[in-house]
């Protein structure tokens, strides 16, 4: 029978990132991650399907935050205004104490093709969730998916800036700024 | 010493797709693919790093076609005009006899997360190549990457329509049409 392990998920993520930083991603086993977190391998697999997945913890929560905020946006909001509200809701959860965590996450993913692959698909799935939420508001294709992809791109670009230990701006400020820049740049396409 | 195997690459791709269709992607081994193609496992690995990669053959050629066409576009071309010219050059290589091949490729990728992951990264890499070629023309960020991503999205969406055995339009016609639609939809973002 499963025991209740307080903060198991977060402990596993922190242990994994510590080990990846210390000894490399390839050299780290699921057993070691569980050991370091003071948990069992069984508990690991209750939370994550594989070693890669531990680096993308939070994807479900992020998806839900985005979709809920788009549902809650006023009926008068344009597609991009709804996306902006969703990004505000998502990025508000990235408090300053998570910045250093983000800074250590990035080089691990950048150093492994298999992690980049999963990251690319995760990003596409996040955009799909935003697209679906916009469809529910009656936004047609391809406007909905364009607004979604622009928003997710702004979030990712801003995250890269935010995950700099020397940074001062919040992820919310950075994301708003990048989205404004992207919006303005669309005018220069042709 | 490596023997010269005529059309080895194409024979391996055709054999792989035949086997994936007949018995499934998971059940098919590299050995079986090489056997079916009348080639050796060593020859397989001279052309592809793994079983997944055989489904993304052509990526290097596509990248080169896109980048060369952007280099060759007139200096007066806007970013999106340069991308249009690049997509024309790429899609011209998708002759009608490749349509059925595309139709069989899609369900195999759609059915496997690991293939979707690689596909998502390949797509991102294609957009990066176009972005780099636009930078060489002096197009700044984020305009260059936005034009590139819009173009690659048009190509992918159009490919899905083209890979319908009942289809009649060429991939070039479909891609131009989708890109026009995407361009028009940007006006409705806000």
CA distances from A145 to A127, A134, A166 (A): 7, 8, 34
CA distance A143 to chain B (A): 5
Helix %, strand %, coil % of chain B (to 5): 75, 0, 25
Task: Note whether A143 contacts B188, CB cutoff 8 Å.
Answer: yes
* Contacts A149 to B, Cβ<8 Å: 149, 153
Please name the residue that has the structure tokens 């928003």.
A151
* pLDDT confidence band for B174 (50 / 70 / 90): very high
* pLDDT tens, residue by residue, B84-131: 999 999 999 998 888 888 888 888 999 998 899 999 999 999 999 999
Measured between alpha carbons, how far is B143 from A189 in angstroms, rounded to an integer? 6
Give the closest-approach CA distance of B181 to chain A in angstroms. 8
pLDDT at res. B167: 84
Q: Are A190 and B146 inside 8 Å of each other by CB? A: no
Cα separation of A49 and A30, whole Å? Answer: 11
CATH fold of A8-54 reads Arc Repressor Mutant, subunit A (1.10.10)
Contacts of A73 (CB under 8 A, 6+ apart): A81, A82, A85, A86, A137
Q: Which residues of B touch A116 (CB under 8 A)?
A: 121
Residue A92 in this model has a pLDDT that exceeds 50: yes
In 3D space, the residue among B154, B148, B147 whose CA is nearest the CA of residue B180 turns out to be B154
What are the distances in angstroms from CA B3 to CA A15, A60, B7, B134?
Answer: 50, 51, 12, 40
Q: Fill in the DSSP letter of residue B95.
A: -
Domain boundaries, chain A: 8-54, 58-188
Q: Identify the burial level of A46 via C-beta atoms within 10 angstroms of its C-beta, where 0-12 means exposed, 13-18 middle and 19 or more buried.
A: middle
Q: Is it the case that residue B4 has pLDDT exceeding 70?
A: no
Q: Is the pLDDT of residue A101 over 90?
A: no
- pLDDT of A72 > 90? The answer is yes
Q: Is the peptide bond before A142 cis (omega within 30 degrees of 0)?
A: yes
Q: Give A121-162 pLDDT, tens digit per residue.
A: 999 999 999 999 999 999 999 999 999 999 999 999 999 999
Q: Which CATH class is domain B58-188?
A: mainly alpha
Burial class (CB in 10 A: 0-12, 13-18, 19+), A104: middle
Alpha-helical regions (H) of A111-187: 113-136, 143-162, 171-185
- What is the reported pLDDT for A58? 85
Cis amide leading into B142 (omega within 30): yes
Domain B8-52 class, CATH top level: mainly alpha
Residues 6+ apart with CB under 8 A from B127: B145, B148, B149, B151, B152
pLDDT tens track for A43-62: 999 999 999 999 888 889 99
Binary contact (A142, B182; C-beta < 8 A):
yes
B77 in helix, strand or coil? Answer: coil
Using a CB-CB distance cutoff of 8 angstroms, which residues of chain B are in contact with residue A123? 120
Mutation target vs B (from A79, A135, A161, A189; most B CBs, 10 A cutoff): A189
Q: Which pLDDT score, from 0 to 100, does residue B3 have? A: 59
Looking at the partner chain, which of A81, A120, A146 has a beta carbon nearest the beta carbon of B185? Answer: A146
Kind and range of the H or E element at A189? none
Indicate the DSSP class of residue B40.
Answer: -
The pLDDT mean for chain B works out to 93
Report the gap between the CA of B136 and the closest CA in chain A (Å).
16
Instruction: Say yes or no to pLDDT of A187 above 50.
Output: yes
Distance from the B183 Cα atom to the nearest Cα atom in chain A, whole angstroms = 9
Question: Quick one: which H or E segment has residue B126?
Answer: helix B113-136
């Amino acid at each position: 029978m499963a025991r209740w392990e307080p903060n198991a998920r977060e402990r596993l993520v922190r242990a994994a990132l510590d080990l990846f930083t210390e000894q490399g991603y390839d050299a780290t086993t699921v057993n070691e991650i569980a050991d370091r977190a003071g948990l069992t391998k069984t508990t690991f697999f209750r939370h994550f399907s594989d070693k890669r997945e531990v680096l993308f913890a939070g994807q479900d929560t992020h998806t839900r935050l985005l979709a809920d905020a788009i549902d809650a946006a006023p009926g008068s909001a344009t597609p991009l205004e709804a996306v902006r509200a969703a990004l505000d809701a998502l990025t508000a959860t990235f408090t300053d104490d998570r910045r250093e965590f983000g800074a250590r996450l990035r080089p691990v993913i950048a150093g492994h093709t298999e992690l980049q692959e999963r990251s690319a698909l995760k990003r596409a799935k996040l955009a799909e969730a935003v697209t679906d939420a916009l469809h529910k508001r009656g936004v047609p294709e391809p406007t909905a998916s364009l607004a979604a992809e622009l928003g997710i791109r702004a979030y990712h670009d801003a995250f890269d800036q935010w995950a700099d230990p020397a940074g001062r701006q919040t992820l919310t400020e950075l994301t708003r700024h990048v989205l404004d820049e992207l919006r303005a740049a669309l005018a220069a396409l042709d």
